Structure 1
Amino acid sequence: MHPDLNVANVGADSWPQLILSDQSGVDVALDIIKSEPARSVTYIVLGPMTTLAHLHRKHGDVLRDRIGRILCMGGALDVPGNTNAVAEFNFFADPYAVRELLTPDPPAIGLPLDRFLLVPLDITTPHEIPFPFYQTYIDKNILSTKRPSNPDEKPPITHFTSSFLERTREVMILFGKDAMELHDIVVVWCAINNPPEGERVVPDESALPALQTGWAAAPRKFQIERLGELTRGMLVVDRRQAEGAYDPGANRALIQADIEKHGFTYAGVLESAAIPAQVEIEQPPSDVLRPAGPGVPVVTTTPGPAALLKLLSERVWGITV
C-alpha cells in the first residue's frame, strides 16, 4: 500500500541512518559492546530474549563485564497477559531464554541484575497514544487503510507513522480501544532517561539500578512457566510470601480466624464462610518459586503517561501540546 516506504524500492543510499550488515544479531551486538567504553552501552530487548540468550551463552564473560545496562520489555506479573490469559508475548515466545537469563538454576550465572531492568505489561499498558489525539495534533487525515496516507500532504515522518498506524488503528478498535499502547516506547524512554552508571566503585550485584527522578523499581521474585499447556510464559509469583497469604487447600476457617487475630485486611472479600475439608498438599522445592538472590529489578513507576505523550510529540513530530 505504501511502496514509497520500502527500502528495497528506494535504495539504501536514501537512508544513510541505516547500517546494513550481513552479521548475525549476536555478532553485531558483540562488536558494539567491545568497541565502546566498558559499561557505556545499553542493550534494549524489545522482543523475545532469544538473541540475548545466544550472546550470553557465547560471550557471557564479555557481556557481564562490559554491558552498561540491559532493559527488557516483557512479562506480566500482576496483570493479565496479552498472548494468553497470563503471558505477555515476548516471554511467551521464548520462556526458556527468560529462565536462563533471569532465574537460572545454580550454579549457572545469569545477567548482572544490578544493571538490568524489567519493564512488564503492568507498567507499560497505561501508556498510550490515543488516535483522536494523533488526528487532532499530528495528522488530521489519519483514518484507516480505506484512505491511505498521502506523502504529498504531510512531512515525511508523519507520512511514515501514519502509514503503519492505519492498520494499527483498525486492529485496536476491534479490541475496543481507539489508542495504541506504547509498550516498547516506554522501555526506550526509560533507557534515554536512565543511561548506564559506568563502573561502580564497589560492584554490588544485589543493588537496584539507580534511576532518575520520576522513575522507580523494586525487586520481584518469580519463575517462568515453560511447558504449561495453558500457561506458557506466565510469571509465577509465590504469593504465599505476602503477609496473610496461605497455602492452597488450608483450612480456611482456621486461617480466617488467624487473619482476624492479626488484623490483616484486604481490598475485597476473599474468604468463604464455608469450612472446606482439610486437603493434603504437595509443597514444591523452595527454589522452584522462590529463586535465590535479591530478585529481578522491575520498573514500578514512570513520570506518567502524559509526560511520555508530550515527549513523544515533541521529539518525533516536533509538536508542542
Structure 2
Amino acid sequence: MVTIQNQSIPVIVDTDGGVDDALALIMALNSPQLDLQAITVVAGNINVDQAANNVLRVVSIVQADTLPIVAKGCEKPLVKPPFNAAGIHGADGLGELDQFKEADGTPRYPHLTIAPSTEDAIALILKTAQKYGDRLTIIALGPLTNLATAIQKDSTTMKTIGQIIIMGGAVTVPGNISAAAEFNFFVDPDAAQVVMESGIPLTLVGLDVAMKAPLPRQMVEENLQQRPSKITQFILDCTGIYMAFYRDNEGFYGCYLHDPLAMAVAIDASLVKTESLHIVVETEGRFTTGMSLADRRDRRDEKTNPPNVEACLDVDTERFFKLFNQLV
C-alpha cells in the first residue's frame, strides 16, 4: 500500500481525451491528495468535441463524489494543422466503445446524459489561477495549446501558479511519433515552446520515464477477474485497440502509461529523479519538428540559458505501479 497524504492540492487536468488520459483521470478522480478543480480539454489524440465526450465518459464511470467542471478549449494547434492519433487510440479516441454490448444486447456504454460546461477552458484556467495562485498545479496530458493560449492572453496570471507537470518530450531517448519528437510536442510544437519560455515552474514527464512503465495486457485482464467493477471493465475495453497497436508494431502486448505517470508525479514527486535543464522545442525543423532539445553539455552556459525545466529521467517503476493499482 502506497501512503498518500491527506492534504489535497488544487489541480487542473488539461487533456486530449485518449486512452492513457482516461487512466490518468481515473487516478485523479480517486486520489485524496488531488483536489480536482477542473478538466480542460484540447484537440490532440482526437478532436476537442470527442475528447470532451471521452472525459465525461470517464467521469460518469468513476462516479466521484464531487464532479469537476469539464470545459472545452482549443480546436487546433497554434500554427500547425490538426494531427490526431485515432489510428492508435481508436476512431473515438477511447478504444471504440460503441462495439461493446451487454449480455442482453444493450450498449455497455450508452449515450451520455451529461454535457461539458459552456465556459471556455482558457477563461477557466485563468480564473482558477487567479483563485489559487502558487497553490495550483496544472497537469498537462495533451498538446500544450490551451496553456500556451492562456499564457499569451494573460502571462502575469499564469506566472503566479505553482507548477505545470507536462507529459511530453523526450530528452535522452528517441521520439514516438517521429525519430525526434514525442506526440504531444509534435502536434503543437509552437505551444510547447511558448510554455518552455514562460518562466512558470515546469516538470517534464517525457518518454525517458514513460517508456519504463509498461502495462501488460495480462495484468489488465487479471485485474478485471480479481476486482470486477465498472472501472476495471472499462479499462479492459478502452485499452484493447491501444494495446493491440503496441502488440502489432512493437511486439509488446500492452501499453505504456504516459499520462498516468504524469498524474503520479503530481501525487508523489519522489517517484522520479529529475535533472534541471534548459530545454527548447524545435518548431520549424524539416525532420525535427517537435523535438525537445535539452542542453546537457558539460560547458553549458547557465547564465545565458538557465534551466527552465525539471526533466524526469528515472522512475521507481515498482512504487509507481503500486500507486497506479491503488487508484484504479
Give your verdict on TM over 0.5.
Answer: yes
Q: Out of 203, 210, 214, which is 1:128 matched to?
A: 214
Deviations 1:222-252 (A, max 9, x none): 332211121111123456x347xxxxxxxxx
Task: State the AA in 2 paired with 1:314.
Answer: Q
Q: Which residue of 1 aligns with 2:144?
A: 49
Q: Does 1:5 align with 2:80?
A: no
Q: Does 1:137 align with 2:223?
A: yes
Q: In structure 2, how many angstroms separate the alpha carbons of the residues matched to 1:139 and 1:185?
A: 22
Q: In structure 1, how many angstroms separate the alpha carbons of the residues matched to 2:223 and 2:146?
A: 38
How has the CA–CA distance of structure 1 residues 172 and 291 changed in structure 2, closer, same or farther, with 3 Å as cutoff? farther
Q: In structure 1, how many angstroms separate the alpha carbons of the residues matched to 2:222 and 2:234?
A: 17
- TM-score norm. by structure 1 comes to 0.63
Q: Which residue of 1 aligns with 2:124?
A: 28
Structure 1 outlier segments of 4+, above 6 Å: none
Q: Out of 292, 296, 301, which is 2:309 matched to?
A: 296
Shift of 1:301: 3.2
Deviations 1:136-157 (A, max 9, x none): 33348xxxxxxxxxxxx94211
Q: In structure 2, how many angstroms separate the alpha carbons of the residues matched to 1:185 and 1:88?
A: 16
Q: In structure 1, how many angstroms separate the alpha carbons of the residues matched to 2:324 and 2:307?
A: 34
Q: In structure 1, how many angstroms separate the alpha carbons of the residues matched to 2:187 and 2:294?
A: 19
Q: Which residue of 2 aligns with 1:227?
A: 284
Identify the structure with the greater strand proportion.
2
Q: In structure 2, how many angstroms separate the alpha carbons of the residues matched to 1:131 and 1:30?
A: 39
| Secondary structure class of the residue paired with 2:162 | strand
Q: In structure 2, how many angstroms separate the alpha carbons of the residues matched to 1:55 and 1:290?
A: 28
CA contact (8 A) 1:223 1:291 kept: no
How has the CA–CA distance of structure 1 residues 32 and 139 changed in structure 2, closer, same or farther, with 3 Å as cutoff? farther
Q: Which residue of 1 aligns with 2:267?
A: 192
How has the CA–CA distance of structure 1 residues 306 and 4 changed in structure 2, closer, same or farther, with 3 Å as cutoff? same
Which has the higher Rg, Structure 1 or Structure 2? Answer: 1
* Alignment gaps of 5+ in structure 2: 1-98, 101-106
Shift of 1:124: 1.3
How has the CA–CA distance of structure 1 residues 295 and 314 changed in structure 2, closer, same or farther, with 3 Å as cutoff? closer
Shift of 1:183: 0.6
Shift of 1:53: 0.5
Q: In structure 2, how many angstroms separate the alpha carbons of the residues matched to 1:185 and 1:192?
A: 11
Q: In structure 2, how many angstroms separate the alpha carbons of the residues matched to 1:77 and 1:156?
A: 37
Q: What does residue range 48-197 of structure 1 map to in structure 2 within 5 Å?
A: 48-65=143-160, 67-103=161-197, 110-113=198-201, 116-139=202-225, 154-175=228-249, 176-194=251-269
Q: Percent identity?
A: 27
Task: State the AA in 2 paired with 1:188.
Answer: M
CA contact (8 A) 1:5 1:160 kept: no
Q: In structure 1, how many angstroms separate the alpha carbons of the residues matched to 2:144 and 2:232?
A: 31
Q: In structure 2, how many angstroms separate the alpha carbons of the residues matched to 1:86 and 1:99?
A: 15
CA contact (8 A) 1:139 1:162 kept: no
How has the CA–CA distance of structure 1 residues 33 and 238 changed in structure 2, closer, same or farther, with 3 Å as cutoff? closer
Q: In structure 1, how many angstroms separate the alpha carbons of the residues matched to 2:152 and 2:207?
A: 27
Q: Which residue of 1 aligns with 2:14?
A: none
Task: State the AA in 2 paired with 1:218.
Answer: E
Q: Out of 320, 323, 326, which is 1:311 matched to?
A: 323
CA contact (8 A) 1:220 1:295 kept: yes
* Alignment gaps of 5+ in structure 1: 13-18, 104-109, 141-152, 195-211, 244-285, 317-321
Q: In structure 2, how many angstroms separate the alpha carbons of the residues matched to 1:97 and 1:159?
A: 36
Shift of 1:291: 5.8
CA contact (8 A) 1:26 1:54 kept: yes
CA contact (8 A) 1:128 1:305 kept: no
| Secondary structure class of the residue paired with 2:108 | helix
Q: In structure 2, how many angstroms separate the alpha carbons of the residues matched to 1:296 and 1:10?
A: 39
Q: RMSD in angstroms over aligned alpha carbons?
A: 2.6
